[in-house]
Structure 1
Amino acid sequence: MNIQKNISLKKYNTFGIDVIANRFVEINSLSDLKKIIASEKDLFLIGGGSNMLLTSNINKLVVHLNLKGIIVNDTEKEFVFVTAEAGENWHEFVLWCISQNYGGLENLSLIPGNVGTSPIQNIGAYGVEIKDTFYQLEALEIATGKIKTFTKEACNFGYRNSVFKNELKNKYIIINVTFKLTKNHHKTNISYGAIKTYLQNISEPNIKDISNAVISIRESKLPNPKEIGNSGSFFKNPIINKELFQNLNKKYPNIPNYIISENEIKIPAGWLIEQCGFKGKRFGDTGVHEKQALVLVNYGNATGEEIYNLAKKIQETVKSNFHINLEMEVNII
């Protein structure tokens, strides 16, 4: 292990924010990770750097988790268990599973980040979430150095949420994740409108077709972090009560909505932001993407604080106009 000093984290976060790590180490093995936590408890972990906004320099030891490897346990007739190490790139892992004809993750193609952080956020897209195929994960307890297995129930998954964002935050380091994937794909999810449209000329779309559809849709409206710094969806889609929705529907008859339960309706955050006039607006080197109002971007040299201030301004405007609280999906550091 080589602990470096005063390292820029610009290439380690998808927003491309140039902050400095006082100390930095890249971890490529579980044994090295155990050595690190045996000597240091106050750590700052970076995987794919896709769900964070860095607003200041980091004085903790920054640990870039780069554990690699995929293991397949093929013991059942209908399902296969695939374990990926935390440092595997998420999209590359999804494509690998599709190449093996393992189904269940195809709707989650092209989501930025690494496998290890995917359960923390319960990442999701186009009608599918991690919890739908999640089987278990192994995590290293920072305080003791012991490895613990977490089942789906123990992770307490919610909408872009898990136990690792709440009571177990900063207490465990996820080292691998196991998914239960299908061999025969009878229950693929193509209910999302844009996917249906893309696949309308394919009579029996396979998991590769679905993945291609998702990739095409995402590329058409979401900026590539390698070209424009961003972290994907910056805000969660808010869930409001029926009474508030009915009041809003009188004023905005075409407000898009998704019924969650008898008294819960989900409203697209991007639509709310667009109605407030932010879509495509630029403020110095930061702004709101021209094709997707849910995405805040760094055009080159924006600071994390500037992006955070824009996010706060958007929250305040949406609250004032719609009486809806927008919650940030991205972790503010």
Structure 2
Amino acid sequence: MTAVRDAVDLSNYNTFGIREHADHLIEVETLSQLLDALALAERKRWPVTVLGGGSNIVLAGPVRGLTICMRSRGRRVLSRADESVLIEAAAGENWHRLTMWALDHGLSGLENLSLIPGTVGASPVQNIGAYGVELADLFDSLDAYDRDTAQVLRFDRQACEFAYRDSVFKRHPGRFIILCVRLRLLRTPQLRVDYEPLRTAWHETGLARADARVVAELVCRIRRAKLPDPTRIGNAGSFFKNPVVASDVAQTLLAANPAMPCYPQQTGSVKLAAGWLIDQAGWRGLRRGAVGVNPDQALVLVNHGGARGEEVMALAEDIRADVVRRFGVELEMEPQLLGLPITH
């Protein structure tokens, strides 16, 4: 069994750079090591927290018990068909490196999801998405360890219960530990470039022929321009989900705000741009002590240095309440809240 470390500073284990500690921490690379770690936690009666890349979390306080960091590696092609290829990646693989690996192998589908931080194992939990594409669109199956039954289970798309930034894994935190993910990618690109600002960037290239690698490069360029690099300033990416409202609500808002971006959904509802709502409410670029709102993208909260989780959450709550007051629209936090705040 790999070594268990005590009182571990988690600053480098979360992209927000929040300085909290884990009571105990272990990094695992195999299923056997994971089972040993879980057995240890059970003997010690420690609660268990599983971390991937730490890119979608906010630490509200110390993380009690045992923190397990998934560090498994491996990418491979499982099967090939006339139009598609089935690939598998271990949970600990870096997501962006997987997208680049797929492009290197002539496979399309992941290009719109380029440069999303985090690990492969975390991607189904949030059903990650960007520029009109979600993980669910490419998903085949995954293997996960069920802590309730002590079994490795295979989940198909239906079993994952994917929704907008949601899944069965998010609704049952701590129960399932994802081990590997399988995706169905395409040999011939079917590019999705109809989502602003990707559409504008694509038209500016002047290219008429589909090219998945160019789309990936455009996505990376857009993301780098709008989203701060967490190695330079701590952040968890998009902090709020884009709210989905009824069509009549959207029409009322549009009447008062003609420039408001709206994205009609197949269900008849309308997705709004959370970043636009926050920007219009005057929060973009605001700084409050160690925390603030990114000046280039109001959807991102940032750590200017030394921020605590409670400061991040206080700012987020004030933004949420203000958007409700101004627009009557509820914003929902996207990152997962971890750690127990210290009470005095």
Query: TM-score normalized by structure 1?
Result: 0.97
Deviation at 1:263, TM superposition (A): 4.4
User: For residues 1-333 of structure 1, what are the structure 2 equivalents within 5 Å?
Assistant: 1-41=2-42, 42-166=47-171, 168-185=172-189, 187-200=190-203, 201-261=206-266, 263-333=268-338
Deviation at 1:231, TM superposition (A): 0.7
Stretch of structure 1 that moved more, 74-83 or 21-30: 74-83
Q: How many residues align?
A: 331
Q: Secondary structure in 2 aligned to 1:74? A: strand
Deviation at 1:261, TM superposition (A): 4.5
- Counterpart CA distance in 2 for 1:126 and 1:253 is 22
Deviation at 1:322, TM superposition (A): 0.7
Q: Which amino acid aligns with 1:233?
A: S
Stretch of structure 1 that moved more, 237-246 or 77-86: 237-246
**Could you give the per-residue CA deviations for residues 88-137 of structure 1, whole angstroms, max 9, x where no partner exists?**
00001111111111111010000000000000000000000000100000
Q: Which amino acid aligns with 1:21?
A: A
Q: Which amino acid aligns with 1:191?
A: D
Q: Which amino acid aligns with 2:38?
A: I
- Counterpart CA distance in 2 for 1:28 and 1:253 is 52
**Could you give the per-residue CA deviations for residues 264-289 of structure 1, whole angstroms, max 9, x where no partner exists?**
11110001101111001111111000
Deviation at 1:300, TM superposition (A): 1.2
Q: Which amino acid aligns with 1:199?
A: W
Q: Which residue of 1 aligns with 2:342?
A: none
Q: Secondary structure in 1 aligned to 2:39? A: helix
Stretch of structure 1 that moved more, 39-48 or 288-297: 39-48
CA contact (8 A) 2:191 2:210 kept: no
Gaps of 5+ in 2: 339-344
Q: Which amino acid aligns with 2:157?
A: K
CA contact (8 A) 1:37 1:145 kept: no
Deviation at 1:190, TM superposition (A): 1.1
Q: Which amino acid aligns with 1:188?
A: L
Deviation at 1:38, TM superposition (A): 2.6
- Counterpart CA distance in 1 for 2:227 and 2:291 is 16
- Counterpart CA distance in 2 for 1:307 and 1:5 is 26
CA contact (8 A) 1:199 1:205 kept: no
Q: Secondary structure in 2 aligned to 1:115? A: coil
Q: Secondary structure in 2 aligned to 1:306? A: helix
Q: Secondary structure in 2 aligned to 1:223? A: coil
CA contact (8 A) 2:89 2:181 kept: yes
Gaps of 5+ in 1: none
Query: TM-score normalized by structure 2?
Result: 0.94
- Counterpart CA distance in 2 for 1:78 and 1:249 is 42
Aligned-residue RMSD, C-alpha: 1.2
Alpha carbons of 1:194 and 1:246: their partners in 2 closer, same or farther (altered >3 Å)? closer
Q: Which amino acid aligns with 1:181?
A: L
Q: Which amino acid aligns with 1:183?
A: R
- Counterpart CA distance in 2 for 1:255 and 1:246 is 10
- Counterpart CA distance in 1 for 2:133 and 2:249 is 27
Deviation at 1:52, TM superposition (A): 0.5
- Counterpart CA distance in 1 for 2:200 and 2:236 is 26
Deviation at 1:65, TM superposition (A): 0.7
Deviation at 1:250, TM superposition (A): 2.3
